[in-house]
Amino acid sequence: MTATTTERPELGPVKRTPAGFTPVTLRRKITDNIALILVSLALLIALAPLVWLIVTLVARGISPILSVEWWQFDELHGGAFNAIIGTLQQTLLAAVISIPIGIFVAIYLVEYATGKSVLARVTTFMVDILSGVPSIVAALFIYAVWRTTLGLPRSGFVVALALVLLMVPIVVRSTEEMLKIVPQDLREASYALGVPKWRTIASIVLPTALSGIVTGVMLAVARVMGESAPVLILVGSTRAINNNPFEGNQQSLPLMMVQQYNNGSDAFDQVWGAALTLVILVAVVYFGAKLVSKLFAPKKA
């Protein structure tokens, strides 16, 4: 079977392969297939460590958390309930402080900062600096201010203050990007109807970008929930449940993992169990937040 040649008045003779493709089209198709194969291989390489991590985490951590002792109130008997309570309280306090601050800063940068104002440039620069601050540096800063300068006692609230420094730049950056992709036509249509700017932001811009904002917030929560440096420096451990994060020592899952690891190989099951519990908490909070964002997001006609 040989290639055929067809005449086109405007293009002249065009050679065709037996499959009906011109040489240029065939070359493009081969290039596209090669690119698809390379991208697929890159995706598999990227997913392999993640899948391996999840399988290992579940295989080694599922046994402790399925036991009755794991959910006891006293860590002395292998329980982790007090660590779960401490982790949730510290993360909730950090989120309550950092989420409004981060969203308001992003609104200022996108909606109110006109041109290249000095305040906007300084704010952007500080957010970029905070984005790269290690957790140990944030913990040491809070320790220097809270303990050394003010002489106040350690508590779960102090840990939350260090986590705020880590959460705010992530919330600001994610919210800023989500607000930028909201179509400007929506704002202009609202202004044309006489709606003030603050109401346009609250009723149109924020609901439109809500899903992306929630995703960014949950990325920030997922990052700070597993930080171990602040809890090692700013709060002491306790085997009892402390429901008051503003006073006394308070256990948390990262702190429990470090302590159990230091106990030797016999306690490694507890370390894997605490790690799996932490991942489950992050997943539950993430999917809960996504559900809330879908319920309150603008409905499509």
Of 26-35, 36-45, 138-147, 234-243, the range with the highest mean pLDDT is 36-45
Q: State both tokens at 294.
A: 């879908």
On average, the pLDDT of the chain sits at 84
Query: Rounded CA gap, 23 and 12, in Å?
Result: 15
Q: State both tokens at 214.
A: 């929630």
Under 8 Å CB-to-CB from 96, ≥6 apart: which residues?
Answer: none
**CA dihedral of residues 295, 90, 276, 170 (deg, nearest 10):** 60
pLDDT at 260: 83
pTM: 0.80
Q: Which residues on neighbouring strands pair with residue 5, listed in sequence order?
A: 15
Model confidence pLDDT, tens digit, residues 68-78? 777 776 655 56
34, 23 Cβ separation under 8 angstroms: no
Question: Residue 282 — very low, low, confident or very high, per pLDDT cuts 50/70/90?
Answer: confident
Query: Rounded CA gap, 194 and 112, in Å?
Result: 18
Model confidence pLDDT, tens digit, residues 89-135? 999 999 999 999 999 999 999 988 876 788 888 888 899 888 888 88
pLDDT at 41: 95
Higher pLDDT residue, 107 or 260? Answer: 107
Query: Rounded CA gap, 116 and 150, in Å?
Result: 37
Q: For helices 156-180 and 81-107, what crossing angle results, to 10°?
A: 40
Mean pLDDT across the stretch 238-257?
A: 84
Model confidence pLDDT, tens digit, residues 148-199? 888 888 888 999 999 999 999 999 999 999 999 888 898 989 888 888 989 9
200, 188 Cβ separation under 8 angstroms: no
pLDDT at 74: 61
Under 8 Å CB-to-CB from 105, ≥6 apart: which residues?
Answer: 123, 127, 168, 172
Q: State both tokens at 205.
A: 């811009």
pLDDT at 108: 92
pLDDT at 40: 95
CA atoms within 13 A on the CB side of 64: 25
Place of tokens 């929560």: 221
16, 3 Cβ separation under 8 angstroms: yes
pLDDT at 95: 92
pLDDT at 297: 64
pLDDT at 76: 58
Model confidence pLDDT, tens digit, residues 208-219? 888 888 888 888
pLDDT at 1 over 50: no
